[in-house]
Amino acid sequence: MTYLTGGPRSAPDLARDVFGMRNAPDAVAARLAVALLGADARVYQLPDSSWAMVPAGVSSPLIEECAFAVVDVETTGAGPRHHDRITEIAVVIVQGERIETVFDTLVNPERPIAPIAAALTNITNDMVKDAPTFAEVSDEVLRVLAGRVFVAHNARFDWGLVAGELRRTRGFELTGPQVCTVRLSRRLVADIDSYALGSMAHHFGLENPARHRAAGDAVVTARLLHRLLPRARERGVRTLRDLEQLLATTVRSKKRRRTGGRRS
């Protein structure tokens, strides 16, 4: 990692100086950078997609330096335990004041969509029959996730599906920090009956014209995260490690409706 101690480096720089590839296409350089640095906690990715070391003396990147990849997926059924596949995926980047959708696509799941899922998402078999398979978009998924903190509303659900697809199509084990906005909401928002995404959106006045579609839910989750992070700072959260410790704390149980597998 001494190469990065001199300052941030772009993916083409890494391809040229580390791999000896002077004229690597940008897409190839980005994939090489992901393979080399994507799971390394000592580095992080800047808004311009260059790579940098976590500052010396800082055990964890500051929250304002973190790039959060907010993910939402729709599936053929109820979740990974039922061997379902992804039918749609969206990724929205949150970093500082930036909230930007960087990836959004339908996915051909290579199996029928259950009627209950089609009724919920309005994604039909006809809509996905000509869409790319997950194998065809896996490089782009890895690119937008690399060097970023994985965020989702009920992160275990989305992480499990994305990790399963990457394992199936690429033999790649997804690693890295996760933030669940359900858990974060429970720690930072009191006096609310439900922490489902719709309830949290209503609580904060966040509109979602594309409910139960990946892009709509990912954008609302990103805006929710953007509202929650200042509350976390009021609790003394300054670094990613602080945020992870906050998420690890237990919350006194009270009567509330569970969110379940999906983010209703």
pLDDT at 256: 45
End-to-end CA distance of the chain: 43
Q: Give the class (CATH, top level) of 63-248.
A: alpha beta
Of residues 81, 105, 140, the one with CA closest to residue 214: 105
| pLDDT of the residue at 260 | 45
Rounded CA-CA distance 144/136 in Å is 15
Token pair in block for residue 106: 């339908």
pLDDT per position as a tens digit, 138-152? 999 998 998 899 999
Could you tell me how far CA 95 lies from the centroid of its own chain? 12
pLDDT by 10-residue block (mean), the chain, 264 residues: 76 86 84 73 72 67 91 84 87 93 96 93 96 96 90 95 93 90 95 92 91 94 96 93 90 50 52
Provide φ and ψ at 141, rounded to 5°: -60, -45
- The pLDDT value recorded for residue 75 is 95
pLDDT at 257: 45
Q: What is the per-residue pLDDT across 27-55, written as a single tens digit (0 to 9) for each?
A: 888 877 877 776 666 677 776 778 787 66
DSSP readout, the chain? -GGGGGS-B-HHHHHHHTS--TT--HHHHHHHHHHHHTT-TTEEE-TTS-EEEPPTT-SS-BGGGPPEEEEEEEESSS-GGGT--EEEEEEEEEETTEEEEEEEEE-B-SSPPPHHHHHHH---HHHHTTSPBHHHHHHHHHHHHTTSEEEETTHHHHHHHHHHHHHHHH-----S-EEEHHHHHHHH--S-SB-SHHHHHHHHT---TTTTSHHHHHHHHHHHHHHHHHHHHHTT--BHHHHHHHHHS-------B--TTTT-
> What's the pLDDT score for residue 29?
83
List the domain boundaries for the chain. Answer: 2-53, 63-248
Of 71, 34, 70, 28, give the one whose Cα is nearest residue 49: 34
CA Rg value for the chain: 19
**How many CB atoms lie under 10 A from the CB of residue 19?**
15
Whole-angstrom distance, CA of residue 62 vs CA of residue 156: 24
Query: Which amino acid appears at position 66 of this protein?
Result: C
- Rounded CA-CA distance 42/44 in Å is 7
Q: Are strands 86-95 and 98-106 parallel, antiparallel or unpaired?
A: antiparallel
Supply the pTM of this predicted model.
0.78
- Residue 23 has, within 13 A of its CA and on its CB side, a CA count of 0
pLDDT at position 264, please? 52
Encoding tokens for residue 238?
A: 């300054």
